[in-house]
Amino acid sequence: MSNAPITVSVNGNSIDLSGAKTVQAAFEAAGEPAKAGNLVDVEGATLEEGKGYQFSFAVNGQPGTDPTSPLKEGDAVVFSDGGDIEEESDSTDEPIPHETVDQGYGPIHMVDNPGADGVKTTKTGKISGKTVTQTTAEPQDRVYRRYYPDTGEDKVVALTFDDGPWDTSTAEILDILKANDAKATFFTVGNRIDDSTADLIKREVAEGHQVCTHTWDHAAGSGQGVNLSFMSKDEQREEITKGMKAISDVTGQEASKVIRSPGGNFPTEVWMNVEDLITAEIGWDIDTEDWRKPGSDAIAQAIKCATPGDVILMHDGGGDRSETVEALKEALPYLKKQGFRFITIDELMQYPKKDI
């Protein structure tokens, strides 16, 4: 039975095959219904006609590559012209550096796309001697994304406190948080963590709060106490690593890689210098301006204006924070009554990015 003739369709015409029953045999039996491609140089100009691929084909709609593929009764073969073959060449690759961009708006700042260098290939044809350069892989930007979390119908806010620990106000704030089933994130100043305040850090961790660094000394010295970008790369990195170490020395655990920069000053240039040390830098939606000491009523009113997904900036250290303490006593029960929950930054970052 295997030697019996078969009938196949070639480009819509019936062809009988009685000997070899392959794609190549069908091509020849049909009178070579497609022409071969050409040998071309590195610029695509023809060097020699008919020296490319003999043909392209599909069997029953499925593209094929092996002309010795067997055919069976009723198969439909479609041939088309063969592709060109490029002359052999010597080639070299060079990287195309990727760009770094800072995009978006919002309190959460993190790497959204790691980026990748592109590739530029230079080829010199062995027959033509021509040289061409082309981009064979486009570079992908490294994107530092600022965004708002999309909390959907969840009424959650992130309470954050900077500049602690402070021997009096930090403990009072922890008491208020506990009374309101609230979790918060404390951005600590490393050189304020010592024997007298270590227990406050341990308590923050034990009660489910997130402890992050606000740098070692709030960018003192060349940073003028407010701006990492004024500092050298080594100084920037030291501010973060020492701040994290101060936390881990007390907790015995690896410190969070989420940080808040002094003054919220964290331009792309600083990101690039410290990106291997951190996962995110956190800003805020509501600045209570409690550091100005505007009165507890003003601070409380700012907190009460929270909307779902907001990050609220306050201070538990850096001076007298009695106004902040009093404001929290008023504002947290109010928000809780409105159905709000108080979560950490890590928890807030579990929500998707808001599409704006």
The active-site residue, picked from 109, 209, 218, 315, is 315
50: tokens are 């008919």
Do the bridges between strand 118-125 and strand 131-137 make them parallel or antiparallel, or are there none, so unpaired? antiparallel
Q: Which of 162, 217, 290, 316 is catalytic?
A: 162
Q: From the CA atom positions of the chain, what is the Rg in Å?
A: 34
Query: Residue with structure tokens 């060109």?
Result: 84
Cα 33 to the center of its chain, rounded Å = 51
Sign of CA dihedral 19, 25, 27, 28: negative
Total length of the chain: 356
- CA distances 250 to 279, 297, 314, Å, are 21, 35, 23
315 is catalytic: yes
Q: Would you state the torsion angle of the CA atoms of residues 240, 242, 161, 110, taken in this order, to the nearest 10 degrees?
A: 20
In DSSP notation, 297-349 reads: HHHHHHHHT--TT-EEEEESSSS--HHHHHHHHHHHHHHHHTT-EE--HHHHT
Beta strands 62-64 and 89-96 are unpaired
Task: Name the residues annotated as catalytic.
Answer: 162, 315
